[in-house]
Amino acid sequence: DGGITQSPKYLFRKEGQNVTLSCEQNLNHDAMYWYRQDPGQGLRLIYYSQIVNDFQKGDIAEGYSVSREKKESFPLTVTSAQKNPTAFYLCASSTTGGTGANVLTFGAGSRLTVL
Amino acid sequence: ILNVEQSPQSLHVQEGDSTNFTCSFPSSNFYALHWYRWETAKSPEALFVMTLNGDEKKKGRISATLNTKEGYSYLYIKGSQPEDSATYLCASQPRSGGGADGLTFGKGTHLIIQP
């Protein structure tokens, strides 16, 4: 079945450590996205990529980094510079990232807790 | 950043009753309105994407309407069932943003169906 796989589902990190969240899709979608969810807030866009080897900052990119070396993969690194990293992270993809009402397909999410 | 508001924040409905909730969004520079359903421990899934004023879409017992001139969308559920319990997210996509990278999500309406 086509879909998006995020791993790990739960992750604990000590302060000062970088962690990388994995996102893989087999939908042949061009565009991929990372969102963050905090209690009482809407989903906020961290980074997005419309094509391999290219990505753009979203609304809250500070303290995060991404890469897009393969169409299927869009890992997110939460660096020690991210001041408040404890959150739920959702990866998504869409057929294209250009103009158009592109429907998002989401993964099941990764919950990161900083101890 | 656009302001997308959803109301109510949470809703308890008796099984078999019908219900509706609202998404309001800035009507200027509007391109598309997305609705997603997010069940606990699952991935958010797309319900509807609407672009035209007066659009009405239906999927089984769930339907949605769109008023782009006044900037609101209603989601209706007829004859609520326990499996309808979920958080319903709406997201507004502006014309200038282009593609799904421009989506602004509301905080969601958390719907609980009581048997």
Residue B102: per-residue pLDDT = 76
Q: What beta strand segments (E) does B19-108 contain?
A: 19-24, 30-38, 45-50, 56-59, 62-67, 72-77, 86-94, 104-105
Q: Which residues of B touch A (CB under 8 A)?
A: 1, 4, 31-32, 34, 36, 41-46, 49, 51, 89, 91, 93, 98-101, 103-108
Average pLDDT along chain B, 115 residues, taken 10 residues at a time: 87 97 92 95 95 94 97 97 97 73 90 95
Taking a C-beta distance cutoff of 8 angstroms, is the pair A106, B43 a contact?
Answer: yes
Q: How confident is the model at residue A99 (pLDDT cuts 50, 70, 90)?
A: low
Residues of B in contact with A51 (CB under 8 A): none
Question: Which residues of chain A are within 8 Å of residue B41 when distances are taken between CB atoms?
Answer: 108
pLDDT over 50 at A100, yes or no: yes
Q: How confident is the model at residue A102 (pLDDT cuts 50, 70, 90)?
A: confident
Q: Sorting pLDDT into bands at 50, 70 and 90, what band is A1?
A: low
Q: For residue A106, give the nearest of B31, B32, B44 by CB distance.
A: B44
Query: Averaged over A60-73, what is the pLDDT?
Result: 97
Q: Which residue of B has its CA nearest to A3?
A: B43
Which residues does A contribute to its contact with B (CB < 8 Å)?
Answer: 3-4, 31, 33, 35, 40-45, 48, 50, 56, 58-59, 90, 92, 94, 96-109
Distance (Å) from the C-alpha of residue B7 to the closest C-alpha of chain A?
Answer: 13
The Cα B16–Cα B14 span in angstroms is 6
C-beta separation of B18 from B80 below 8 A: yes
- pLDDT at res. B29: 83
